[in-house]
Amino acid sequence: MTVTHAEPFPGDPPVTDELVREHNLNQEEYARIRAMLGRIPTFAELGIFSALWSEHCSYKHSRPILKRFPTHGPRVLQGPGENAGVLRLGEGWAVAFKIESHNHPSAVEPYQGAATGVGGIVRDVFTMGARPIALLNSLRFGPLSDARNRYLFAGVVRGVGNYGNCVGIPTVGGEVDFAPGYSGNPLVNAMCVGLLREDDLIRSAASGVGNILMAVGSRTGRDGIHGASFASEELTQESEARRPQVQVGDPFTEKLLLEASLELIASGHIVAIQDMGAAGLTSSSAEMAARGGVGVEIDVALVPTREAGMTPYEILLSESQERMLVVARKDRVGQVREIARKWELDATPIGRVTDDGMYRVRHGSRTVVEIPGEPLVEDCPVYEPAALEDPAVVALRSARPAQLPPDLADAWRTLLDSPSIASKRWVYEQYDSTVQASTVLGPGGDAGVVAVPGTPLGLAFSTDCNSRYVRLDPFEGGKAAVAEAARNVACTGARPIGITNCLNFGSPERPEVFFQFREACRGIAEACRVLETPVTGGNVSFYNESPTGAVDPTPVIGMVGLIEDARLAVGAHFRATGDSIVVLGATAGHLGASSYWAVVLDTVAGAPPPVDLAGERRLIDFLVAAAEQSLLQSAHDLSDGGLAVGLAEACIGGPYADGPRGAKIDLRRMQNGMSAEAVFCGEDHGRVVISVSPKKRERLLELAGQSGVPAVVVGDVGEKLAKLEVVFADRTVRAGSAELRDIYYSAIPRRMDLTLAQDAAD
Amino acid sequence: MMRVAVIRFPGSNCDADTLRAARNAGADAYYVWHRDRHLQRADAVLLPGGFAFGDYLRAGAIARFSPVMAAVQAHAEAGGPVLGICNGFQVLCEAGLLPGALMRNARLTFASLPVRVRVETDDTPFTAAFERGATFMVPVAHGEGRYVAPPEVLRQLEAEDQVVLRYVGENPNGSVNDIAGVTNTERNVVGIMPHPERAADPLVGESAGAKVFESMIRRARVPLGGTR
């Protein structure tokens, strides 16, 4: 055993058992630390272990499970373990992407919490050498009937928007969901996608003994100290006091940092770059050293600070935003400074790469930290806790609503008025979706599509998770999240090529939560294997618990798809009177865990629909082929609310279309003994509603037959502003397209106006 | 070939889009950094959208003090064409090169959506390729785009054919008289809130915005400097 040497910084408190507990380290972990050092750690060392061995940084409860994801494939240039995953596109182009959570900060300070979440994920992407070309976000809140939830919703949307808008990255998609399980603990997941030349790919492994560590960007302040540890505990009434731990974002500096970083990477003056994100300088420097198998030595007295008198502990753990750590070639420090200065940023040498494998921190001449580098990052204990399904969930799975079904036309309107289903126009009009002038399909459809400038290629993106399914059956729910994301991307004509995931769960130390996590991951892994969409990275967010309990299990899938010719991208909405409406996939009328039960009958119960992955695969292949042959006028995924919602959305059209369309639909052939509710509102997977011009219809049906995809012609697209008419075996349901459009587009603004009215009254 | 300077402030984020649209229209377009004092023999100057200095004080309020702005001012005073788009429009108003000001949107939130605008005059270097009265769809994306001006200025703008673009149907920000763009009395400096560079390619849905840049090229064929 090596004994390392470090001395306390003057004024630091002595390390006691109580202090260790306050740093969220248990006895076993503390014993391991003492053994590793051969002594009691200094206060600064304790802070470092607390951050790096937090759930957020160490993945100590999730690592064994995450290892089961398929992470390889012919397109994978970089899998999990880096700042972002990278997939090859062809012709020298590659796409870097990742999704990450910022749930805890957003729960106490929605605007800054969400803004800094966007900032962090953008840095993760451009530190791979990629220029960010798209943002998506996946947001979940409690019901809008509650004023606090409206405040969180409005603040998060404003924070997400203002940050991305200023940096100049279009937000082209995402999702927003509302359910009681998120009251008090909203989920804020941001995804960023960047484009790079394969040659420009850079990783975050420090290398080259004698090379110089430089801090680039903002100065280090006392904000966000222990953010990573905060994100690794449950939210309580006292969490409000954590507000000072939420960092403050500066998107203007981020834009400068983006340009400076890309220029530094292209210049060849640096060998590695990493964001000082969660756990700040500590995690960035320790991880860079461990990845490169080298040691580092940092003098924290050289780090530019916002205020005098900051201790090593504070400097190491600060999460001040918009800071980068780069490893400059030892003879290029001046050149790095020059590039930074051009972008009005500071670049300061703060340390160097060493050959002894030690993670060493000095303050002037005093060594305050000396830890063996690789064990610091790798030797955190790994847990695989007990997993046991909650018996209440087992019972729920076989339960069904007690109520009699209400009038189906009323139920239809109720579904379209549900904020989870209704248009998110109120949200996405606050996001710049057209900057970079490459947005082919913006928010409001199945997937966002952007063109890759200078090539014929297009990229499609979607984020998805139906947490009701995951809650009622985590394995099927995990599969469903991947399948739906893939289907959304394929609806535009894109072939799904890979995913990133953001796994939001409660405390892994509770068996019923760990069961959800394990099973959902098993479902994701299986779906990714069959659909050949490798997992390229992501983020685990545990401890999403508020005084009312754990959040609904929410493993969000961020899917990327590739279109060979962006001009052939297919939209979600009906386009021409007289086109045939075709439902692809098999309809079995599965109502368990459906929106119909949840929203109309107020019953979250039943088994979610099973996912047939082979069928999903055939459907995806068919959609890609049909789009390539220009057979599709429109294609829209059927998910929440089944045909009732999917058909209505395709008729209603985008918010700027000059009129919603009517349709004549006959579901009798499809009904086959099912109730009208089941055929109209059932949520069987693997289904898409498409429209096709009459002259291409036969070719399309033939291709569907050859592809093994069921296809049923159900009706025709009607005139603008005409009625929607749906014929069932025992009844006909009608609604005006203009009326449905009004319901669909006013559902969220109408509820948010309550806030404005209340503010005015205050 | 027409030389077009695209001014880059540190927080410009539509610079690349604007450069691309100008080049696609046939211009020899290049960047000029905000600290530069020379426009490198520019025939026309474009101020792109973005958040020049983060817009923390007021959009465009700091950018007007950038060294390059003296050169832009001189170019404008000599009759050279200048177009400010979105944040560029805000900068031109702050610099006194255009009348009026741009305030926070009436609804107080950022507004990103396609809008329909009408070309109210073809008598500017940036609208000459349009028919007067033509309408087209074009994205807006701004938090501070509500155009305001004192009543006597407004009267003059309307009487002297200085309103360049006007929102038709939905006015996204509460601008007075639905004004989306204006020109100065000499008609060589134009500011517009919508983003024609984002509507200049059928791939992104709309392409009429390309005519803004084609107008600039067409105008280059007649002698520059005091064209009217």
Each residue's pLDDT tens digit, A95-111:
999 999 999 989 989 99
CB B146 within 8 A of CB B173: yes
C-beta pairs of B172-175 under 8 Å, 24+ apart in sequence: B172/B105, B172/B111, B172/B113, B172/B115, B172/B140, B172/B145, B173/B105, B173/B106, B173/B107, B173/B111, B173/B140, B173/B142, B173/B145, B173/B146, B173/B147, B174/B105, B174/B106, B174/B107, B174/B146, B175/B145, B175/B146, B175/B147, B175/B148
Q: Give me the amino acid identity at A155.
A: G
Tell me the CA distances in angstroms from B64 to A121, A304, A595, B47, B81, one per residue in order: 32, 30, 54, 11, 18
Distance of residue A48 Cα from the nearest chain B Cα, in angstroms: 34
| Cβ contacts from A onto B, under 8 A | 95
Q: Cβ B110–A161 below 8 Å, yes or no? A: yes
At B199, give phi and psi (nearest 5°): -130, 45
d(CA A120, CA A100): 8
Q: What is the average per-residue pLDDT within A418-423?
A: 98
Contact (CB<8Å) A434/B201 = no
3-state secondary structure of A152: helix
Q: Is B41 exposed, middle or buried (0-12, 13-18, 19+ CB in 10 A)?
A: exposed
Evaluate if residue A135 carries a pLDDT over 80.
Answer: yes
Q: Is residue A25 pLDDT above 50, yes or no?
A: yes
**Under the phi-then-psi rule, with left for phi > 0, alpha for psi from -120 to 50, and beta for the rest, what region is A178?**
beta
Per-residue burial over A529-546, b if 16 or more Cβ lie within 10 Å, else e, is ebbbbbbbbbbbbbbbbb
Residue B135, burial from CB neighbour count under 10 angstroms (0-12, 13-18, 19+): middle
The residue in chain B having the minimum alpha-carbon distance to the alpha carbon of residue A428 is B112
Question: How far does A758 lie from chain B, in Å, by closest CA?
Answer: 16
Asked if residue A167 lies in contact with residue A258, where contact means CB atoms within 8 angstroms, the answer is yes
- Residue pLDDT, tens place only, B86-122: 999 999 999 999 999 999 999 889 999 999 999 999 9
Residues of B in contact with A432 (CB under 8 A): 110, 112, 141
Geometric angle at alpha carbon B112, from B111 and B113, rounded to 5°: 115
Which residues of B are identified as catalytic?
Answer: 86, 195, 197
Per-residue pLDDT band at B57 (split at 50, 70, 90) = low
Cα–Cα distance measured from residue A752 to residue A426, given in angstroms and rounded to the nearest whole number: 9
**HEC profile for chain B?**
CCEEEEEECCCECCHHHHHHHHHHCCCEEEEEECCCCCCCCCCEEEECCECCCCCCCCCCCCHHHCCHHHHHHHHHHCCCCEEEECHHHHHHHHCCCCCCEEECCCCCCCEEEEEEEEECCCCCCCCCCCCCCCEEEEEEEECCCEEECCHHHHHHHHHCCCEEEEEECCCCCCCHHHEEEEECCCCCEEEECCCHHHCCCHHHCCCCCHHHHHHHHHHHCCCCCCCC
Determine whether the interchain pair B54/A166 forms a contact, defined as Cβ–Cβ distance below 8 Å. Answer: yes
Nearest to A40 by CA among A61, A59, A25: A25
Judge whether B4 and B218 are in contact, CB under 8 Å.
Answer: no
The torsion angles phi and psi of A431, rounded to 5 degrees, stand at -110, 130
HEC readout, A710-737: CEEEEEEEEEECCEEEEECCCCEEEEEH
Q: In a 3-state reduction of DSSP, which class is residue A166?
A: helix
**Are A581 and A714 contacting, i.e. CB atoms less than 8 angstroms apart?**
yes
Strand ranges (DSSP E) for A62-101?
76-78, 85-90, 93-101
Judged by CB atoms within 8 Å, which residues 650-709 of A form the interface with B?
655-656
- Give helix A737-761 / helix A408-416 axis angle, nearest 10°: 50
pLDDT tens column, A694-745: 999 999 999 999 999 999 999 999 999 999 999 999 999 999 999 999 999 9
Residue B90: which of B59, B46, B68 has the closest Cα? Answer: B59
Answer yes or no: do B14 and A435 touch at CB < 8 A.
Answer: yes
Residues present in chain B in total: 228
Q: Does B31 touch chain A (CB under 8 A)?
A: no
pLDDT tens string B197-217: 999 999 998 899 999 999 999
Pairing of strands B44-47, B3-8: parallel
Residue B34 neighbours by CB under 8 Å, 6+ apart: B7, B8, B9, B10, B52, B63, B66, B67, B68
Whether residues A434 and B195 touch (CB distance < 8 A) is answered with yes
Indicate if the pLDDT at residue B81 is higher than 60.
yes
Chain B residues touching residue A251 (CB < 8 angstroms): 51, 54
From the CA of B187, how many Å to the nearest CA of chain A? Answer: 28
Residue with tokens 């090379």: A211
Do the beta carbons of residue A44 and residue A51 sit within 8 Å?
Answer: no
What ipTM was predicted for this assembly?
A: 0.94
Q: What is the mean pLDDT of residues A734-760?
A: 86
Task: Sort out which chain B residues have CB atoms less than 8 A from A165's CB and list them.
Answer: 51, 110, 112, 141, 143
Answer yes or no: are the C-beta atoms of A506 and A544 closer than 8 Å: yes
CATH number (3.30.450.20, 3.30.2350.10, 3.40.50.300, 3.40.50.880) of B3-219 reads 3.40.50.880
* Pairwise CA distance, residues A151 & B209, whole Å: 38
Whether B10 and A566 lie within 8 Å, measured CB to CB: no
Rounded to a whole number of angstroms, the distance from the CA of A373 to the nearest CA of chain B is 38
Whether residue A87 contacts residue A132, with contact meaning beta carbons closer than 8 Å, is answered with no
Read off the pLDDT of each residue in A667-676 and give the average, rounded to a whole number.
95
Kindly report the nearest CA distance between residue A459 and chain B, in angstroms: 13
Query: Which one has a higher pLDDT value, A59 or A441?
Result: A441
**Please, what sign has the CA dihedral across residues A260, A319, A537, A350?**
positive
The predicted-structure confidence for B20-45, as pLDDT tens digits, reads as follows 999 999 999 999 999 999 999 999 99
What does DSSP say about strands A358-363 and A295-299: parallel, antiparallel, or unpaired?
A: parallel
Give the alpha-carbon dihedral of A395, A398, A402, A406, to 10 degrees. Answer: 130
Q: Quote the pTM value.
A: 0.94
> If you measure CA to CA, which chain B residue comes closest to A432?
B112
Q: Is B74 on the interface with A (CB under 8 A)?
A: no
In chain B, residues 146-165 whose CB comes closer than 8 Å to chain A: none
A642-666, pLDDT tens digit by residue?
999 999 999 999 999 878 999 999 9
- Which residue from A485, A470, A369 is spatially nearest to A50, judged by alpha carbons? A369
Contact B21 A437 (CB under 8 A): yes
**B107 Cβ under 8 Å from any chain A Cβ:** no
pLDDT score of A607? 97
Place of tokens 């590695």: A272
Helices A251-267 and A333-342, packing angle to 10 deg: 140
Q: For B115, which residue in chain A has the nearest alpha carbon?
A: A656
Give the residue from B13, B18, B24 with the most A CB atoms within 10 Å of its CB, the best one to mutate.
B13
Closest alpha carbon to A647 in A635, A655, A659, A658: A635
Neighbouring-strand partners of residue A716: A580, A664
Task: List the one residue out of A423, A459, A421 whose CA is nearest residue A170.
Answer: A459
pLDDT beyond 70 at A571: yes
Q: pLDDT above 70 covers what percent of chain A?
A: 96
Which among A253, A432, A439 has the least Cβ separation from residue B204? Answer: A439
Which distant-in-sequence residues (6+ apart) come within 8 Å of A368 by Cβ? Answer: A6, A7, A8, A9, A42, A44, A45, A300, A312, A361, A362
Residue A551's nearest CA partner among A595, A585, A502 is A502
Shortest distance between the Cα of B198 and any Cα of chain A, in A, equals 4
Looking at residue A760, its pLDDT comes to: 53
Tens of pLDDT, residue by residue over A359-379, are 999 999 999 999 999 999 889
- Say how far apart CA A113 and CA A249 lie, in whole Å: 9
Could A429 and B204 be called an inter-chain contact, meaning their C-beta atoms sit closer than 8 Å? no
CA distance A6 to chain B (A): 43
Q: Using a CB-CB distance cutoff of 8 angstroms, which residues of chain B are in contact with residue A430?
A: 109-112
CB A642 within 8 A of CB A680: yes
A453 part of contact set with chain B, CB < 8 Å:
yes
Q: Is B109 within 8 Å of A430 when comparing Cβ atoms?
A: yes
pLDDT of residue B228: 31
B215 backbone dihedrals φ, ψ, rounded to 5°: -60, -45
State how far the Cα of B20 lies from the Cα of A605, in Å rounded to an integer.
54
Which run of H or E residues covers position A354? strand A347-354
Answer positive or negative: Cα dihedral of A590, A593, A596, A600: positive
**pLDDT digits 0-9 by tens, A277-307:** 778 899 899 999 999 999 999 999 999 999 8
Report chain A residues whose CB lies below 8 A from the CB of B50.
Answer: 168
Q: Count CB atoms within 10 A of the CB of residue B57.
A: 9
Name the strand (E) or helix (H) holding A559.
strand A554-563
> pLDDT by residue (tens digit) across A584-624?
999 999 999 999 999 999 999 999 999 999 999 999 999 99
Q: For chain A, give the number of residues.
A: 762
- Residues of A with Cβ-Cβ distance to B203 under 8 angstroms: 438, 440, 451, 566-567
- Residue A158 and residue A145: Cα distance in Å, rounded? 19
| Chain A residues with CB-CB distance to B113 below 8 A | 429, 655-656
Predicted pLDDT of residue B145: 96
Find all residues with CB under 8 Å of A711, minimum gap 6, and list them: A582, A583, A584, A700, A701, A704, A705
